[in-house]
Homo-oligomer: A and B are copies of this chain.
């Protein structure tokens, strides 16, 4: 029997959930266990590596790639691939796969959960009861009704479509903006984000982060959304101009936000900590054991396909 293939695993030290499954089928080389500087480690030990597993959001840039002359595949456990230099991968003929729809249900659930939590003030309600204020100070401040809200979804991919499907029976009116209009979709399409914001009570961000979408929610979009408008972000933090967001929340330019992602995670602008009109969340939309099982399965399927010369299951387009 031939030796099992060698994989390079590039992950934060704490992110161990794939180790057991991977070691069942592969020999593993991990970047975080070496005391050598990364470039030296890669040059010394990884020059024959044909596949990398990329977990979390550790950068895979041109320099990283330059030390891996045999590389043909990067398997990302995330949906977003903005931490990988995709043009350089294309130039080098390295294929990239992502988490596909493995997290989609959980992220869609979380988007709805953040929206209801914000509107009905559930985290604040929980704090109010736990602090004993209900008995001391009386009735809790009213929440905002969800039924009938106009919800604009930015990015109607696998996650966005599941969010729309979930919000329909709440009596929400769905519209969307996406890279292109989807022919078979009944929802109203807005060709730009400003008009999406201007015509909705809520916008939900679930598109990919790339050069076209970085800071796609800027001051102008927030002004169009208006003083009762709500932003829910279950995508990447970089989709929003965070400095402007903080100002718009503090000054009442928009009504509020439910944020699961930030520009410099785990850093969160401290100005947000004291605001009543936000629900803050530590990039947890994808985080359930069920999601991780899905993603392990998908990563293994992509690796198996690669090493047996079959088509990849969830390739990322590199153009």
Contact = CB atoms under 8 A, between A and B. Distances in A.
Nearest 3 pairs of A and B residues by beta carbon? A113-B116, A145-B290, A129-B280
Contacts of A139: 14, 282, 287
A147 B294 CA distance: 13
Contacts of A145: 105-106, 109, 288-291
A109 B280 contact: no
B123 A114 contact: no
Interface stretch (A58-66, A211-219, A266-274): A266-274
15 contacts: A14-B138, A109-B120, A110-B120, A114-B122, A120-B288, A122-B281, A125-B281, A126-B279, A129-B280, A130-B280, A135-B267, A139-B287, A142-B287, A142-B292, A145-B289
Q: Number of contact residues on A: which range applies?
A: 35 or more
Nearest to A130: B273
Contact of A125 (B128, B134, B280): B280
Interface in A253-297: 265-268, 270, 273, 279-282, 284, 287-292
B147 A290 contact: yes
Given A138-B266, A166-B170, A268-B135, A284 B120 contact: yes
B287 A146 contact: no
A127 interface: yes
A268 to B, nearest CB: 6
A230 B138 CA distance: 28
Contact of A127 (B14, B117, B123, B168): B123
